[in-house]
Structure 1
Amino acid sequence: MKTVKNKNNGGVSDADMVFQLEGRPKFSIAFPLGLQHVLAMFAGNLAPMLIIAAVAKATPAETIVMVQAGMLISGLTTFVQLYPIKIGRFQIGSGLPIVMGTSFAFVPTASAAAAIGGIPAVLGGALVGSLSEGFIGLFYKYLKRFFTPLVIGSTLIAIGINLLGVGRDYFAGGAGAKDYGSWQNLTIAFSTFLFVIILQRFGKGVINTAALLFGLLFGYILAFFFGKVDLSSVSTASWATIPLPLHFMPTFDAQTIISFVIIYITVAMETIGNTSGITIAAFDRPATEKETSGSVLADAIGCAVASIFGAMPNTAFGQNVGIVSMTKVVNKWCIALGAGVLVICGFLPKLGSIFASIPNPVLGGALISVFAMITLNGIKMLAQAGFSGRNVTVLGITFALGIGFAGHADAIAGMPTWLKFIFEDSIAATTLVGIITNLVFPNPKKHEASTTDKVAGTTVK
């Protein structure tokens, strides 16, 4: 088939343009690639809000408000990441193909707050806590020495390992499902998984790059014949409503705010890690200071706005970093079309409910290999940093305490409450232990200078 070149984009063909940051491929090529990002994160974007709504015993109407606001803010914050806002010397947004969504990292803390003070207590803690992430974004220039390649690489690995657990549960039918691990769920998941692999191996052009989208469609049809597709929420959902601010009036509690501040530091690290994950996978380099600072600032502002509109805080979604790693599609216009779908879904509950009806085994089959890419990006970053005696010591301590010890409730039962907050989450623990260990075992100045020069001297081309 003859390759058609786009005269409006320097003569570069639409098929090749999807692998470039700038430019506008034609809609028929760009939209499916953006849509697969939405499908990959949609259930994960909804799940934290549904969990918190259940803990807070929210009414169905209140739950719909949270879900709509979550989709709207995710889409708008993604736009800010793609097309940054510049205010003086500060840049809000990274200018990278980052997709934002509701963060699972807040679920334990938000659940505790919701059980006591309901949704208003969650939103109050999230709103004030977002200032801590904004602080990291504003002063990243001075704080970046704490976020070395070893720390970010370790955080990426911890994120990937956690996501693999999520992918495993999706694969088997969803955590807590009555038919968890049933032959029907595994058949759907493995069939979807194999279908995606076949398209990636033998597909050409859009069929190859949008393999995840076609895999999700194939799995959805298969799940429908297995009777696993529940369309009840589609029939009951409203056609259109407008999300409004302050539907829930936030309340403020000191202990809840402190807990949120701790988690926001972790979420900032997730965003820093995922930002570098994008640049490493797509451009084979670490993220620049400007990109990272802008990414964290956009995340912080997005979290604050989400709290005002009644949604849970957001973060850069790891699974979408995995999609970029797998497909190498980095074109911002493609991702923007996906973000537009999220915004539209924020106004159309019925459309959003269709996406939400994708069964867990379908998501697991299509995405479990994507989650693995996050771990591989972390390993790649560690390899670039090198495995000197000092680095091996830092990594050994970080992984031993951050991944091996943290996250196991029985193992940390005797810890003080303030420390338990951190070690309940292996990502938070990996981040904290990595930062402290890097300070205890300082890097030789010569290596620090070469690393800094390498990052500062690299730009997106």
Structure 2
Amino acid sequence: MADTSLGTPEQLRDPNYMPALVKAVPLGIQHVLSMFVSNVTPAIIVAGAAGFGFGSNSPDFPELLYMIQMSMLFAGIATLLQTVGAGPVGARLPVVQGTSFAFIPIMIPLVAGRGVDALAALYGGVLLGGLFHALLGTVIGRIRFALPPLVTGLVVTMIGLALVKVGIEYAAGGVPAKASGAASYGGLRSWSAALVVIFVTLGLKFFARGMLSVSAVLLGIIAGYIYALGIGMLSFEAIGQSWSRAAAFALPQPFKYGFEFSAAALIGFCLMAFVSAVETVGDVSGIAKGGAGREATDKEIQGATYADGIGTAIAGCFGALPNTSFSQNVGLIAMTGVMSRHVVTLGALFLILCGLVPKVGGLIRTVPIEVLGGGVIVMFGMVVAAGVSMLSDVTWNRRNMVIFAVALSVGLGLQLEVMNLAPGAPNALQHLPDTLRILGASGILPAALIAIVLNLLLPEELASEATEEISGGMAGHK
């Protein structure tokens, strides 16, 4: 329920209304707290996949720090594009932008084990994919028919399923420990830190209210961090080293890692841009409905899509990852009842400030991988749950069951087959060109392509037929 001390009901539903600064600032920071961990996690995952060392004495430490810093800075800049706008760019609604999880299954194969050398192609894909994403703004209203809940729900579910393995590996001790065969991998000490995060997060989410509930994942990770200090998993000396090695202030560097054209990166980012665009359409619609009790206008949806793409393209020029609207903040607007875009603008300015101070990234880097794993398990599980929620809107007739079954079987099958192989071992896609092999290994793009094509081609008449043939005769039984 909205707090009427912030303004009249009419004012609270107005995106252009500005509450008193003493109340607007905490509301803006609350938006940042609800997305902070999710925003920096993709950079840590991609850096880990590339083989960056996580220790403060690692030669890769400055690169990891820079990626975390850019995640915060350009999430703030992309959010300003949405809330303040620039010409046709931006919804001018309280839309919070952050680093997208959707692209992680595409990015991991591009950088796997290749270190800093892989980043030129990665950021080339981010830049070009962002420009393509912005172009989708001109046609987003006309292509939504090809992406019903059956397709988008499947894709979001597949994204979550592709990522849950990362959470388990982190909670057990991290990919480097697994690769080296370290005896500590999967030990009680590692799992205990992850479980502290999970239990504290769940406790706050279900039994607390207000900001405590909204920031449950962040507070869970803080609790895990304190626990890690208590059991000696992390030392104050290591924290001090990270803090001292990080600068007090630093500006982003354009094309720090160079620019390289990669067909796999370009195709992968462009295809996933469709998913991100549809997600943003849903978030903007949810904000308009939950905050103002109305439908989003075509101009707002188009402006939001432009901001998504341009924010991503700019981020790619400076070493940040693709941005998209954050769904958790949509729920926060519905909960607080404050529709003010200026509140979110204040949150964006706070993010930008954090992004210009590398010492913030230095502290984030000291979070033990096991502690981060506990938070990641919750976050990626929520991605799967969001996909299942979308699928609940599907009418499960024979036609839709066939589409879902074929797309899921091929996509998840490819994903699992490639994931479980030793390096250099033959795989189901080994005879494909490099570009197609990288794209197919994610499992998500093949599943999305199959679902879209079958949804457009299979006749609607199948929808009226019974489902007994597919469900083994169980349809209709109680």
Normalising to structure 1: TM-score of the pair? Answer: 0.78
- Conserved? CA contact 1:9–1:23, under 8 Å: no
Q: CA deviation at 1:260?
A: 2.2
Larger deviation, residues 337-346 vs 231-240:
337-346
Aligned residue in 1 for 2:192? 187
- Map 1:25-44 → 2, pairs under 5 A: 25-28=23-26, 30-44=28-42
- Conserved? CA contact 1:6–1:12, under 8 Å: no
Matched residue SS, 1:385: coil
Larger deviation, residues 320-329 vs 268-277:
320-329
Q: CA deviation at 1:221?
A: 1.0
Aligned residue in 2 for 1:345? 354
CA RMSD of aligned residues (A): 4.0
Larger deviation, residues 270-279 vs 363-372:
270-279
Aligned residue in 2 for 1:80? 81
**Residue of 327, 342, 364 corresponding to 1:321:** 327
Larger deviation, residues 367-376 vs 58-67:
58-67
Structure-2 change in CA distance of 1:34 and 1:344 (3 Å): same
Aligned residue in 1 for 2:168? 168
Unaligned runs of 5+ in 1: 448-461
Aligned residue in 2 for 1:376? 385
Q: CA deviation at 1:411?
A: 2.8
Counterpart CA distance in 2 for 1:336 and 1:442 is 47
Structure-2 change in CA distance of 1:5 and 1:296 (3 Å): closer
Larger deviation, residues 375-384 vs 110-119:
110-119
- 1:44-69 CA-partner distances (Å, limit 9, x unpaired): 234425655849x9876566555543
Q: CA deviation at 1:94?
A: 7.8
Aligned residue in 2 for 1:421? 438
Counterpart CA distance in 1 for 2:251 and 2:361 is 14
Q: CA deviation at 1:128?
A: 3.4
Q: CA deviation at 1:280?
A: 8.4
- Map 1:19-168 → 2, pairs under 5 A: 24=19, 25-28=23-26, 30-49=28-47, 52=50, 54=52, 65-87=66-88, 91-93=89-91, 95=93, 97-101=95-99, 103-108=103-108, 110-111=110-111, 119-168=119-168
Aligned residue in 1 for 2:225? 220
**Residue of 276, 299, 317 corresponding to 2:308:** 299
Matched residue SS, 1:316: strand
Unaligned runs of 5+ in 2: 419-426, 465-478
Counterpart CA distance in 1 for 2:444 and 2:295 is 20
- Conserved? CA contact 2:28–2:345, under 8 Å: no
Structure-2 change in CA distance of 1:108 and 1:222 (3 Å): closer
Code of the residue aligned with 2:193 in structure 1: it is: I
Q: CA deviation at 1:237?
A: 0.8
- Map 1:198-217 → 2, pairs under 5 A: 198-217=203-222
Counterpart CA distance in 2 for 1:104 and 1:288 is 30
Counterpart CA distance in 1 for 2:204 and 2:187 is 26
Q: CA deviation at 1:96?
A: 5.5
- Conserved? CA contact 2:132–2:273, under 8 Å: no
Structure-2 change in CA distance of 1:186 and 1:340 (3 Å): farther
Identity of aligned residues (%): 23
* 1:394 counterpart = 2:403: yes
- 1:54-86 CA-partner distances (Å, limit 9, x unpaired): 49x987656655554343222211332345444
Counterpart CA distance in 1 for 2:167 and 2:286 is 20
Q: CA deviation at 1:182?
A: 1.8
- Conserved? CA contact 1:5–1:12, under 8 Å: no
- 1:441-461 CA-partner distances (Å, limit 9, x unpaired): 1447999xxxxxxxxxxxxxx
Matched residue SS, 1:384: coil
- Conserved? CA contact 2:33–2:215, under 8 Å: no
- Conserved? CA contact 2:197–2:221, under 8 Å: yes
Normalising to structure 2: TM-score of the pair? Answer: 0.75
Matched residue SS, 2:80: helix
**Residue of 454, 460, 478 corresponding to 1:437:** 454
- Conserved? CA contact 1:241–1:347, under 8 Å: yes
Aligned residue in 2 for 1:458? none
Larger deviation, residues 97-106 vs 282-291:
282-291
Counterpart CA distance in 1 for 2:312 and 2:37 is 22
Structure-2 change in CA distance of 1:124 and 1:138 (3 Å): same
Counterpart CA distance in 2 for 1:301 and 1:224 is 41
Q: How many residues align?
A: 430
- Conserved? CA contact 1:407–1:423, under 8 Å: no
Code of the residue aligned with 1:321 in structure 2: it is: S
Q: CA deviation at 1:361?
A: 2.6
Aligned residue in 1 for 2:468? none
* 1:359 counterpart = 2:360: no
- 1:310-329 CA-partner distances (Å, limit 9, x unpaired): x1431327xx5357669965
* 1:405 counterpart = 2:414: yes
